[in-house]
Amino acid sequence: MAFFADLLVNGLMIGAMYALIALGFVLIYKATSVINFAQGDLVMFGGYIAAAMVSLYGLPLAVAVPVLLACMVLLGFALERGILRPLVGHSVVSVIMVTIGLAQILQGSAAMIWGAATLNMPLPIPSQPLVLGEIFVSYTNIAAAAIAAAFLVAFAYFFRLSRMGIAMRAVANDQQAAMAAGINVRLVFAISWAIAGLTAGIGGVMWGNMLGVDTNLALVGLKVFPVVILGGLDSIAGAVLGGLIVGAVESVAAGYIDPYVGGGTKDFVPYVLMILVLMVRPHGIFGRETIERV
């Protein structure tokens, strides 16, 4: 039982990090109906910026993190204004292919600027685990989960109570009605991408600390995709719940199955879970079903 509890607690903490990155994915889809396949690469790029400032340029973390977040917000604005906005009105397939191309550009640019070698992203976190009875919890997981939870609460407050957050919810529900009400829909699109960049930057710091920063860090985005599909592409609550479910299930499954198969369970279990849920709920747990009248 202690072994199961250990896997579950650590899995939920990892799931909170998935949820934070998935939030950016969901926001872009809700506002613009674009599936952003470059979200994982934004995480990787944010990790490179942070690791370069700390490891290569010697900046203190207190300076590097605010600079990183500002850079990622500006990057989100620039991508929406320069690449995605000219594609408004084009086919969905065209936009998806552009985000895939953008992912490759981000990977190539990061390797060209900072090199292909793995960079360290040091954080002032103890390396020894916290022992709670028979449960061993990594301080890195605790810090990551706490930061992810704090930002998720802040975003919830922003969406519920701020004028821009309410405008973003209105655009997500009905773009034409929002325009008729005087909401600047294009500004909402840009802010959605900026928030996606912000969440990717935070994720890049935390995942970079755990895994190291190189182009393989973009593979984190592959874990986010089952999270958002599981919870529902257009549901923020679904992104949070999906992240926690995927984190917990992959951790428990790896703990019990990996000893018999030699590893790799975490790589496919989220997709198996996603397929099983979609067989019962094709729009995800909280996804909104679209009914078209013919």
Domain coordinates in residue numbering, the chain: 17-215
Answer whether 234's CB lies under 8 Å from 246's CB.
Answer: no
Residue 74's pLDDT is 94
Residue 1's pLDDT is 74
Q: How far from the centroid of its chain's Cα atoms is residue 269's Cα?
A: 18
Distances (CA, A) of 239 to 22, 120, 210, 212, 291: 6, 29, 22, 25, 22
Residue 230's pLDDT is 87
Distance CA 223, CA 273 (A): 12
Name the pTM for this structure: 0.88
Distance CA 20, CA 116 (A): 26
Segment 39-88, tens digit of pLDDT: 899 999 999 999 999 988 888 988 999 999 999 999 999 988 888 778 76
Neighbours of 169 (CB within 10 A): 16
What single letter denotes the amino acid at residue 125?
I
Residue 288's pLDDT is 65
Q: Which two tokens stand for residue 271?
A: 């997709």
Q: Which two tokens stand for residue 100?
A: 């895939």
Greatest C-alpha distance within the chain? 62
Residues of the chain with pLDDT under 50: none
Neighbours of 88 (CB within 10 A): 12
Residue 88's pLDDT is 67
C-alpha atoms less than 13 angstroms from C-alpha of 266 in its C-beta half-sphere:
17
Residue 44's pLDDT is 93
